Chain A
Amino acid sequence: MLTTPILSPIIPFDATLDYELNFNIIGGSQVTKNNVVIVRVSDNVEVYNNTIETFSYTHKIPAYTLTNNVQYKVRVRTGDINNNYSSFSDWVLFYCYAPASISITNITYGGIANNQNYLFTGTYNQPYDPIKAYLFILYDENGVQLAVSPLKYSSVIEHAFVLQNNTKYNIELKTQSQSGVEVSTGLIPFTASYIAPQMGAELQLTNIKDDGAVSISIIAIQRNAEGSNYTFIGNDWIDLTANNAIVRFVDGINTLSNNYSIKLYFKNIPTNKTFLKIISPYGNIQVNYSENRFHAWQYAHNLVGHFINSNSIAVKSEDIVCLEIKVIGGLIDIFANIIS
């Protein structure tokens, strides 16, 4: 005795792909085959009627048997080895839809997100089966899930995540249609890279044992030089080659001790012209380049001291030079190398 099979509600599927219809049976004798009948609802034409021999409670509907954007109804019955058949199940209505076309519109594969609070936006395109809900999922570069947006019931697809600078991520948009079809964009890799303030200061942490607390302190120094007739080149250079171009560092310089160093990375130095000047109330040190040497001239107390770097160095205009002046009491060491 075969019992009547039970068909569950069918979530719309893409008719251009094979589809496995599942049903359930409670009790009864051994099932050896099943027969599925599908009828187009609009004109009641039977479009599929097939029996397959299988013990399992499934029936594969081949791709392109049905047509997308059409409503059908289906019923199933089972048969045993003696060709006895159960009653047909109840009809179950379903749609075939092509999956929605979804995308994240403002990030490309391997692209750059140039904001810390980056608002990801998406599109959903399936006119026959509108969007019901969506969510964005943020992963790290290894695919470990970091954050999930709330499930949003809106046709405006967007969500902002907070991103760390210079960090690689993956983003995924998942949508669910009104009829329950879920679609994903898959993981889209991108990099967060944006202009952000940076801090060079070291944190000082102290465990305050008899107060049950930790002290966190930081020396945050914001200083600005003064200057005139200068221009910036790119985001990395300052051009001081114009007439009377100068940049002057004052704030904090008086915290230097008697032993200090000044390290410069520069190019385009003329010969015999001062490009670095260290000034005090008692005199100054002027640094220039000539005859393949860097010279430091120390003027103080009506006396002149002259120091040069030990190695001969031929600097062309386009050479980038690293120069370090070490002032140790009244002595000056000069080191220089062309770095590119």
Chain B
Amino acid sequence: MFLVGYDIFAYSNLGMFQTNNNISIPSSVELTNSIVDEIHIKNDTLSEFKTEKEPWQPSTVALGKFQNDLSYGNMNLNGLTITKLLFKKRKIDSFNWIQFASIPFDPQKNIYEVIDRLVESGETYEYCVIPATSTVEGDMKTKTIDVEFDGTYISDKDSYYKLYYNIEMGDIVQNQPSATIETLGSQYPIVVYNSSINYKSGSIQCLLLSDSTVESFGKIDIRQEKLLRNKIMSFLTNKKPKIFKDSSGNFMIINIINQPRLIPNNSLSGLVYDLSFDFVEVANPYDQKSLNMTGLV
């Protein structure tokens, strides 16, 4: 068994199944004496030989097309200078793309990651990334995903709170003011809708617990509880629009109204508190202008 992984010349490449003059992993590849249309180098020898050109694949290391440049990465620049990557998404049944992030492009950086928290549970989204110059957006690369999550969240661009414990949602009320006019000459009343007002409102109550208290299995971290209470109350009273979402599919831009309340839990000597607040919907989270104006993207 000690010979496994070694060949008879004691080279540790592929054991018995290779010639003894394997050059090992290449450090460079050179082209000369020809006129070349494309070179495609990949970590794949299992695919059957076919003469059709193939796009960039997960196993691809180099794909050079020589379109007036010597680039061989997975971004075909066409002689342009990419300055940023644009991240967009849409609900699968919508034509309306929402740009939720823009990241400066750095040629020295290979991996780009964005976390999108503006998502609705129970929806299918199509995401795309677009390489862009200062004036031109490139071709988009798309992929879809079904989104589902647990819990209730309230957030803005800078803060993100998950409400975990003892969640009690109040009624979600759809507010659409109307007047019912009963006339003398008709059996039925006339209903008048006074405006285009149409928004949701609701309330929520939950138990606030810091991660520190949860992780200490019952020992209340008084300092962390106090910090959490102050932080979330400051967040709730900053007068800025927020995103509210939960696992059932509620997803709206809200403002906090009335008086957010911290209710001491007297059975625990008032060391932990319940949080309660009311909210109203103030904008559409699928409207780019609304997201920009509310500062949520």
Contact = CB atoms under 8 A, between A and B. Distances in A.
B87 interface: yes
Interface stretch (A44-52, A105-113, A183-191, A331-339): A331-339
Given A165-B139, A205-B145, A260-B41, A237 B35 contact: yes
B25 A283 contact: no
Interface stretch (A86-94, A130-138, A224-232): A224-232
Interface stretch (B14-22, B190-198, B226-234, B260-268): B14-22
A329 B14 contact: yes
Interface in B14-53: 14, 17-45, 47, 49, 51, 53
A223 B73 contact: yes
Which residue among B23, B40, B127, B162 has the maximum number of chain A CB atoms within 10 Å of its CB? B23
Contact of B36 (A196, A240, A252): A240
Interface in B108-137: 109-117, 119, 121, 125, 127-133, 135-137
B18 A331 contact: yes
B18 A320 contact: no
B80 A195 contact: yes
Main SS of chain B's interface residues?
loop
Contacts of B67: 235-236
B168 interface: no
B128 to A, nearest CB: 7
A279 interface: yes
A330 B26 CA distance: 12
B199 interface: no
Nearest to A320: B37
Given A197-B75, A232-B68, A235-B68, A275 B28 contact: no
Interface stretch (B149-157, B175-183, B269-277): B149-157
A261 B37 CA distance: 17
A249 interface: yes
B139 A199 contact: yes
Nearest to A318: B35
B137 to A, nearest CB: 6
Interface stretch (B57-65, B201-209, B211-219, B281-289): B57-65
A162 B109 CA distance: 29
Interface string A303-340: 11100000000000000101010111111010101010
A197 B31 contact: no
A264 B113 CA distance: 33
Given A220-B85, A232-B66, A280-B24, A212 B35 contact: no
B119 A212 contact: yes
Interface string A236-275: 1111110001111110111111111111111111100111
Given A214-B119, A221-B110, A331-B18, A264 B43 contact: no
A162 B31 CA distance: 40
Contacts of B70: 224-227, 238, 247
Given A203-B127, A263-B40, A274-B33, A222 B138 contact: no
Nearest to B11: A301
B71 A260 contact: no
A330 B113 CA distance: 38
Given A241-B35, A249-B72, A300 B23 contact: yes
30 contacts: A195-B80, A198-B75, A198-B78, A198-B131, A202-B58, A205-B145, A212-B121, A212-B153, A220-B74, A220-B110, A220-B131, A222-B107, A226-B70, A233-B35, A235-B67, A238-B31, A238-B36, A248-B28, A249-B29, A260-B61, A262-B29, A263-B54, A275-B32, A275-B34, A279-B28, A281-B24, A283-B21, A301-B20, A330-B20, A339-B51
Interface of B: 13-14, 17-45, 47, 49, 51, 53-56, 58, 60-80, 82, 85, 87, 105, 107, 109-117, 119, 121, 125, 127-133, 135-139, 141-151, 153, 162, 245
Given A245-B32, A253-B41, 12 more contacts: A200-B141, A209-B149, A214-B125, A217-B114, A220-B110, A220-B131, A233-B35, A265-B36, A266-B37, A268-B34, A273-B33, A303-B20
